[in-house]
Structure 1
């Protein structure tokens, strides 16, 4: 286990509470999968000015695989990550990373748009190309 704050009783209680309230991996759920979470991650990294002990809404339940991918992509620039918080697409084919430009996000550490994709989705573009209905 890493050092402060992860080695404190406060963190262990916060982690246990988050996993009990949100037992499934958040990124996997965006992909339509139900994978049991084993890790709790800060939505805004401590290194980026996030609080060490945020409210539960400032934490995210994740499986080890998703946590490792997110950490390598964003928190370890020496590893030349993708810059995406979450890799993959939802069942409609849209990127699951809320900070993706598709959702109106502007940077890889931002929150993106909680409302989801812009009003014109990829499906709308394909079905209504140039004002003509397809299909």
Structure 2
């Protein structure tokens, strides 16, 4: 199934590709994993506040965070759905 949302084309722009590379260079480790004292390479650049097609939010470097795919696909999705997500550090304490 093809995603037909018009803002999807923003991910194909040279500007986004440069920003993505820069973000992963500046923050190469998953932000959520680091909070849990786990060192995991990031491979997804996530919009902290969902852009919902807003180019201003989409291209705002302060609205970006680096995550690993499992954190992005599982934890971030639950957060965006309004669910309470409790994460734990290496000692088992909530973060």
Task: Return the TM-score normalized by structure 2.
Answer: 0.76
Q: Give unmatched runs, 5+ long, in structure 1.
A: 97-135
> How many pairs were matched up?
87
Once the two structures are superposed, residues 78-127 of structure 1 have per-residue CA deviations (whole angstroms, 9 ceiling, x without a partner) of xxxx714x552124612x3xxxxxxxxxxxxxxxxxxxxxxxxxxxxxxx
Cα RMSD for the two superposed structures: 2.4
User: 2:87 — aligned with what?
Assistant: 88
Matched, 1:28 2:33: yes
Cα deviation for residue 71 of structure 1 reads: 4.3
Task: Return the TM-score normalized by structure 1.
Answer: 0.56
Cα deviation for residue 6 of structure 1 reads: 1.0
The structure where helix makes up a greater share of residues is: 2
Matched, 1:18 2:23: yes
Cα deviation for residue 10 of structure 1 reads: 0.8
Q: After the TM superposition, which parts of structure 1 deviate over 4 Å for at least 4 consecutive aligned residues?
A: none
User: 1:73 — aligned with what?
Assistant: 78
Structure number, greater radius of gyration: 1
